[in-house]
Amino acid sequence: MMSQRVGIEISLAVAEVAKLADVDVVAAYPITPQTHIVERLAELVANGELSAEYIPVESEHSAMSACLGSSAVGARTFTATAGQGLELMHEVVDVAPSLRLPIVMAVANRALSGPLSVWCDHSDAMGVRDCGWVQMFAENGQAAFDLSLCAFRIAEDPSVLLPTMVHLDGFSLSHVIEPISMLEKDELEGFIPPYEHPFPLRPDKPVTMGAFAPPVIYTETRKAQEVALRSSKKVILQAWKEFGHRFGRYYSPVEGYKSKEATTLLLTMGSFGETATVAIDRMRDNGESVGLINLRLWRPFPFDEIRQAVRNADIVIVFDRCLSSGGPGGPVCSEIRSALYGEKKQPQVVSFIGGLGGRDVTPDDFVNVIRRGIEIAEKGSDEEYEMIGVRE
Amino acid sequence: MDKFTVFTPQLLPQEELFASGHRACVGCGEALAVRLVCKALGRDVVIVNATGCMEIVSSQIPRTSWKVPWIHTLFENTASVASGAEAGLKILRKKDRYSGGKVTVVAMAGDGGTSDIGLQALSGAMERGHNLLYVCYDNEAYMNTGVQRSSSTPLGASTTTSPAGEKSVGQFSWKKNMPAIAVAHNISYVATASPSYPFDLMDKVRKGVEATGTSYIHILSVCPTGWRCGSDMAVTLGRLAVETGVFPLYEVEDGKYKLSLDFPRLRPVRDYLKHQGRFRHLTDVIIDKIQDRVTDEYLKLRRKASED
């Protein structure tokens, strides 16, 4: 059966991925805006379409903890969360890569309290930035579906064995119905091999997992994790390449839109990349030399690809959906600056922050951001960053 | 399993699944309890261990004391990790991806990891009814971090965060009744045990394994370091805790209480308290208060056990 393009809510498409991957265990706790994913999975298990154990845990801390347990005995494990949920499970999120458990988690990005906000920004994702997971951001429904599928293959690759997070913007992706080319199980044949953990918890071959590390060995364990995460990039690229060859949709760590010869580049992460293309088109029609860079692979950070992508630009305007309070501005911008520092030819990097707590950012706003960014690059500014759309 | 008697120690498995050479303090009651629990469990287990004394003394990269599959992740999530392991093994068996014999998932934690920080996860696991055994090794304080009070510390005990002083009797609150909290979840098997009564303890572990759903065993583990008693006192104090009624041995099967050992007359609590430095400061007034409470609780328990 050929794949079909259907109108489907993106959360449901992500749940469909877990079904296609034939996950063994789902442990999850309801939190807006992720709930539709796990509700759908509960339904799939309840009506027999998915043979899995669904553990309706009593907190996100327990959700990720149960995921550790099921993954450690060799079961393919999936969960989803958002915002406060990711914050509550933070402690456990750190443990998964240290035990080399390839859990796959969808995060419907949400702002953090307080004040309480169920709406989207990337503050939750930035809180787990350094936890050692492979992390990627979807820009639309199709990417959310495709990247989630690839996530299982990447995470479980014997040379990777690292948990993988797929970020999709809360509401603006999670709750939106988009036309998505869904894949059928028989089309996937072999793309996600059966999950075999090399050393699961089994009585016939007892292992000790999670022993503690004194100073004499802790550094080495962290280094080993870091090496594994950095090396995962080859597998990620290979998985995306094969996905492209088989299903016709190609993904790369950094995506350019009309960016090749542009002198000014806007850089976004997540669904704003889609909105920003409208602004870029408009400005191009106006004869302005602007382009867009969308950052898809967040961890391991694609240093080389970023350097490549901006090599012809004079100005890079980074638009962050998160504020590093009291710090240099946007967390993505910090990383871009750090990636470009020391390069022979460096573009000027300008930092903008907006879209916090679900605040809409329109194509007009992006046009203004680009114009203002160019102005700052030319005239300079006393501020580390500018926050857009703030009502005084 | 056959009921052990004092004449049958030779029936105990010789094999040590919790290996010697670990770094527990001399005279540790908990290490003794773990050793007995492992003997009763046998090899077909997955043990999920909370952060705490037992994790620290038995695991240090690259060494391990565990000859059975064992995992430690964090402090407060042991029941949840165990829930996941149980669900994982269940579905793998259903999907024909695991074909070995029966595997029992056993969660182990101290009193802090159980009655304080891990209580929510444990409550969740019991409510969902995962088929697992949860063992609490209760040494009545956060011993691993240096003897701080927990909700399982008995009234009057001097710890580093409930020190006895001019204006303090030591621990100001009564010990939380964890077995009663487990019983309130309507699980099929709850028991208290003590390594001072090894055959009773092992019998209960086997019962817990056989029981349907979650079972809970609460083991009093004498801690000479934290209780400030002689390192040769673990077994004696464990017995005194039972004989004074401070820590009665009982089972609750499908809601039905049964005393494992009953005493027509309890020994005075003073016999138990006097060997421990943590109670050294107690006045007669406080000791009488403790005595009244222990007698009262014991009679309540006996009444429950005599109900149909």
SS (H, E, C) B64-103: ECECCCEEECCCCCHHHHHHHHHHHHHHHHHCCCCCCCCC
Q: A302 and A171 in one domain?
A: no
For residue A1, what pLDDT band results from cuts at 50, 70 and 90?
Answer: very low
Please report whether residue A309 resides in a domain: yes
Which among B63, B69, B81 is the nearest to A65, CB-wise? B81
Contact A58 B123 (CB under 8 A): yes
Average pLDDT over residues B301-308: 91
Q: A270 and A238 in one domain?
A: no
Please report whether residue A126 resides in a domain: yes
Instruction: Give the residue carrying structure tokens 């009982």.
Output: B250
10 Å CB burial of residue A64 (0-12, 13-18, 19+) is: buried
Alpha-carbon distances of B17 from A78, B8, B72, B79, rounded to whole Å? 33, 20, 17, 22
Q: What integer pLDDT is reported at residue B3 of this predicted model?
A: 56
Mapping DSSP to helix (H, G, I), strand (E, B) and coil, where does residue B240 land? Answer: helix
| % pLDDT > 90, chain B | 94
Instruction: Give the residue carrying structure tokens 């071959």.
Output: A205
Q: A222 and A277 in one domain?
A: no
Q: Which residues form the domain of A343?
A: 254-387
Residue A225 distance to chain B (closest CA, Å): 15
- For residue A300, is the peptide bond before it cis, meaning its omega torsion is within 30 degrees of 0? yes
Average pLDDT over residues B111-130: 98
Q: Is A51 on the interface with B (CB under 8 A)?
A: yes
Residue A74 distance to chain B (closest CA, Å): 7
Please report whether residue A71 resides in a domain: yes
Q: Domain total for chain A?
A: 2
Which among B55, B71, B91 is the nearest to A24, CB-wise? B91
Q: Express each pLDDT in B230-276 by its tens digit.
A: 999 999 999 999 999 999 999 999 999 999 999 999 999 999 999 99
Q: Is B8 on the interface with A (CB under 8 A)?
A: no
B45 vs A contacts (CB less than 8 Å): 203
Q: A217 and A259 in one domain?
A: no
Boundary of a domain, candidates A247, A282, A316: A247
| % pLDDT > 90, chain A | 98
Q: Express each pLDDT in A226-235 by its tens digit.
A: 999 999 999 9
Contact A65 B121 (CB under 8 A): yes
Query: B8 or A128: which carries more pLDDT confidence?
Result: A128
Boundary of a domain, candidates A221, A247, A273: A247
Residue B155 distance to chain A (closest CA, Å): 31
B117 vs A contacts (CB less than 8 Å): none
Q: How far apart are CA A88 and CA B217, in angstroms?
A: 29
Residue B64 distance to chain A (closest CA, Å): 7
Q: Is A79 on the interface with B (CB under 8 A)?
A: no
Q: Is residue A385 within 8 Å of A326, Cβ to Cβ?
A: no
Q: A195 and A124 in one domain?
A: yes
Q: How many Cα atoms occupy the beta-carbon half-sphere of B99 within 13 Å?
A: 2
* Residue ranges of E strands in B247-303: 250-253, 256-259
Which among A25, A63, A213 is the nearest to B61, CB-wise? A213
B87 vs A contacts (CB less than 8 Å): 25, 27, 53, 55, 66, 69-70, 75
Q: What integer pLDDT is reported at residue B1 of this predicted model?
A: 43
The answer, yes or no, to whether residue B6 has pLDDT greater than 70, is: no
Q: A287 and A194 in one domain?
A: no
Q: A99 and A21 in one domain?
A: yes
Q: Express each pLDDT in A255-311 by its tens digit.
A: 999 999 999 999 999 999 999 999 999 999 999 999 999 999 999 999 999 999 999
Average pLDDT over residues A327-339: 95
Please report whether residue A323 resides in a domain: yes
Q: What integer pLDDT is reported at residue B72 of this predicted model?
A: 98
Q: Using the 8-state DSSP alphabet, how is residue B167 labeled? A: T
Nearest residue of chain A to residue B123 (CA atoms): A58
Contact B77 A65 (CB under 8 A): yes
**Which residues of B, range 92-131, sit inside 8 Å of A by Cβ?**
92, 94-95, 97-98, 100-101, 103, 120-121, 123-124, 127-128
Q: What are phi and psi of B47, to 5 degrees?
A: -100, 130
Residue B134 distance to chain A (closest CA, Å): 15
10 Å CB burial of residue B99 (0-12, 13-18, 19+) is: exposed
Please report whether residue A392 resides in a domain: no
Q: Express each pLDDT in A31-44 by its tens digit.
A: 999 999 999 999 99
Boundary of a domain, candidates A214, A247, A280: A247
Q: How many Cα atoms occupy the beta-carbon half-sphere of B98 within 13 Å?
A: 26
Q: A262 and A225 in one domain?
A: no
Q: A315 and A177 in one domain?
A: no
Alpha-carbon distances of A343 from A309, A332, A340, rounded to whole Å? 13, 18, 5
Average pLDDT over residues A83-93: 98
Q: A339 and A242 in one domain?
A: no
Q: Express each pLDDT in A133-171 by its tens digit.
A: 999 999 999 999 999 999 999 999 999 999 999 999 999
Whole-prediction pTM value? 0.96
Q: What integer pLDDT is reported at residue B12 of this predicted model?
A: 84
Nearest residue of chain B to residue A74 (CA atoms): B88
Which among B71, B82, B120 is the nearest to A58, CB-wise? B120
Which among A203, A212, A217 is the nearest to B68, CB-wise? A203
Q: Is B15 on the interface with A (CB under 8 A)?
A: no
Q: What integer pLDDT is reported at residue B246 of this predicted model?
A: 98
Q: How far apart are CA A131 and CA B194, in angstroms?
A: 41
For residue A328, what pLDDT band results from cuts at 50, 70 and 90?
Answer: confident
In order of their start, the domains of chain B are 14-306 (3.40.50.970)
Average pLDDT over residues B115-135: 98
**Which residues of A, range 11-40, sit inside 8 Å of B by Cβ?**
24-25, 27
Q: How far apart are CA A38 and CA A35, in angstroms?
A: 5
CATH code of A332's domain: 3.40.50.920
Q: What are phi and psi of A371, to 5 degrees?
A: -60, -45
Q: Express each pLDDT in B215-228 by its tens digit.
A: 999 999 999 999 99
Q: How far apart are CA A323 and CA A305, in angstroms?
A: 24
What ipTM was predicted for this assembly? 0.96
Q: Express each pLDDT in B38-75 by its tens digit.
A: 999 999 999 999 999 999 999 999 999 999 999 999 99
Lookup: tokens for A27: 């442990």
For residue A62, what pLDDT band results from cuts at 50, 70 and 90?
Answer: very high
Contact B101 A68 (CB under 8 A): no
Q: Express each pLDDT in B156-181 by its tens digit.
A: 999 999 999 999 999 999 999 999 99
